[in-house]
Amino acid sequence: MGETIVRRSVCAIVTLIVLSGGAPRLAGQLDPALVRARCEVVHQIENQSIIYGAIIDGRSGMPLPGSRVHLEWNTRGEGGAMFQNRVAADSEDGSYIFCDVPQGTRLTAWADALGLTSPRVAFVLEGGETVREDLNVILQQALGAVSGFLIDDSTEQPIGGATIRIARAAAEDVTDSNGGFRLVDVPVGPHEVVIRHIAYGEPTMDLVVDQAMSTHAVIRLEPRAIAVEPIAVTITARRKWLEDNEFYHRLERQLGSFVTPEEVDRQPHRTLAEVLRTIPAINLRQRCFPHCQVQIEMAGSTMRGCIPTFYVDGRRVHQLTDPDDAMIDLDTLAVGPEIAAVEVYRGVSESPPQFYGRCGSIVIWTRRGLR
């Protein structure tokens, strides 16, 4: 999780969580259930109101890293004096969360990015609301256009069906039967043009786009075929029950550690403890007198005695523990031959909302569910 900044006002404390991890994970990070779970870990207050969202380019819809987010509201102090309160912090990846915001009063939010400011958004939150407000910054950029023709240098014939792309812009076109193309909304300045055609390879050329005029280019190509790699198809059988419960979707995202059905089949285990020992994210300490119990901690965790939350076939299990040393009996959850797959999430930042655990979570899928 990113940096946490707390600013005190006259009568309220607001916590801003700045997420980290980059734009590709932004959508998952802004899941409302995960947002509330993060606020409740950082700010342990019941029924708190939360405002969150993304700072995005109003033209492209892409997040704007390095933005600064502001939240402002007024409070009335003793004697009726009015005080203005404001919190602000930098967002590393273009997303933000304000935890425990004031309730029942007018709030105003806006963002600064690249010297520009988003429109101000005003709203009022009541108790326990989790509200998303995206802040749009319209980036001002000079744009031009590129047009021209693509012809065969030897035959002087037009080349149709070729892809013309500006490498540093979202501009692409396919040449028509006359070899003509046109690229619009191209940022002013130098660019590399990439051309792709099965008979001419992937040549490139440099050009400069001017805002005052449309850039025109006649491009001549010599035949050069593209080497096409053989197509290989890999088919992997998936267990339908695990597919229906999105096990494979979470496996592809690799937010946690996994023991797949194929790994279970290759190396059968007698106990659940033996299965968990194959996962580097877990530390186990076992005691077998008078019967076997284990103490479980997530690798790298500083929260001693904090037991992960267990889920069996998608349902949370309330596991009894020894109050003296937090030892638990894993055999009451599942035995080795029953296990079909396992998911392990080391903390709140990794856990999907449906498998939330303050000290991490261990999700066990059994063969009972596969039937």
CATH code: domain of residue 356:
2.170.130.10
- pLDDT score recorded for residue 175: 94
Q: What is the pLDDT of residue 363?
A: 92
SS (H, E, C) 284-342: EEEEECCCEEEEEEECCCCCCCCCCEEEECCEEECCCECCCCCCECHHHCCEHHHEEEE
Question: Pick from 111, 137, 163: which residue ends a domain?
Answer: 137
CATH code at 181? 2.60.40.4130
User: Is 65 found in the same domain as 125?
Assistant: yes
Q: Are residues 64 and 98 in the same domain?
A: yes
For residue 230, is it within any domain?
no
> With bands split at pLDDT 50, 70 and 90, how would you rate the model's confidence at 126?
confident
Number of separate helices (H) and strands (E) present in the chain: 7, 25
Shared-domain flag, residues 63 and 118: yes
| The two three-digit tokens of residue 335, written as one number | 């035995």
Q: Are 313 and 338 in contact (CB under 8 A)?
A: no
Of 6, 38, 13, 9, the C-alpha closest to 100 is: 13
Place of tokens 């990070």: 29
Residue 22 pLDDT: 34
* pLDDT on residue 237: 67
pLDDT of residue 9: 33
Residue 343 has pLDDT above 90, yes or no: yes
One-letter amino acid of 103: Q
Name the band, by pLDDT with cuts 50, 70 and 90, for residue 142: low
Report the chain's terminal Cα–Cα distance, integer Å: 39
| Residue 94 near residue 30 (C-beta atoms within 8 A) | no
Residue 290, preceding bond cis, omega within 30 degrees? yes
Tens digit of each residue's pLDDT (9 = 90 or more) over 44-92: 888 889 999 999 887 667 788 888 999 999 888 777 788 888 888 788 8
Q: Is the pLDDT of residue 159 over 90?
A: yes
Per-residue pLDDT, 149: 92
> What is the mean pLDDT of the segment spanning 162-184?
89
166 and 208 both lie in a single domain: yes
Whole-number pLDDT of residue 235: 58
Averaged confidence pLDDT in the chain: 79
Task: Tally the domains of the chain.
Answer: 3
Asked if residue 232 belongs to a domain, the reply is: no
Lowest-pLDDT choice from 16-20, 87-91, 146-150 = 16-20
Question: Quick check: 6 pLDDT over 70?
Answer: no
Residue-number span of the structural domain to which 152 is assigned: 143-221
Instruction: Tell me: pLDDT of 15 over 60.
Output: no
Q: What is the pLDDT of residue 151?
A: 92
Cα angle: 342, vertex 363, 43; to 5 degrees: 140
Is the same domain home to 155 and 212? yes
Domain boundary among 156, 186, 221: 221
**Predicted local distance difference test score (pLDDT) of residue 173:** 94
Any domain includes 234: no
Q: What is the CATH number of the domain that holds 107?
A: 2.60.40.10
User: Is residue 233 in some structural domain?
Assistant: no
Does the pLDDT value for residue 43 go beyond 60?
Answer: yes
Residue 13: pLDDT over 50: no
User: How many Cβ atoms from other residues are within 10 Å of residue 205's Cβ?
Assistant: 12
What is the average per-residue pLDDT within 16-41? 63
Q: Confidence band (pLDDT; 50, 70, 90) for 29?
A: low
pLDDT > 90: what percent of the chain?
Answer: 17
The answer to whether residue 366 scores a pLDDT higher than 80 is: yes
Whether the pLDDT of residue 356 is over 50: the answer is: yes
What confidence category does residue 180 fall into, taking pLDDT thresholds of 50, 70 and 90? very high
CA distance 306 to 328: 12
Instruction: Confirm if 99 and 72 have CB atoms less than 8 A apart.
Output: no
For residue range 98-114, list pLDDT tens digits in order: 888 888 889 999 999 87
* CA nearest neighbour of 353 among 300, 302, 303, 316: 316
pLDDT at 38 over 50: yes
Q: Which of 77-81, 115-119, 264-268 has the lowest mean pLDDT?
A: 77-81
Among 203, 166, 204, CA closest to 185: 166
- Res 290: pLDDT: 65
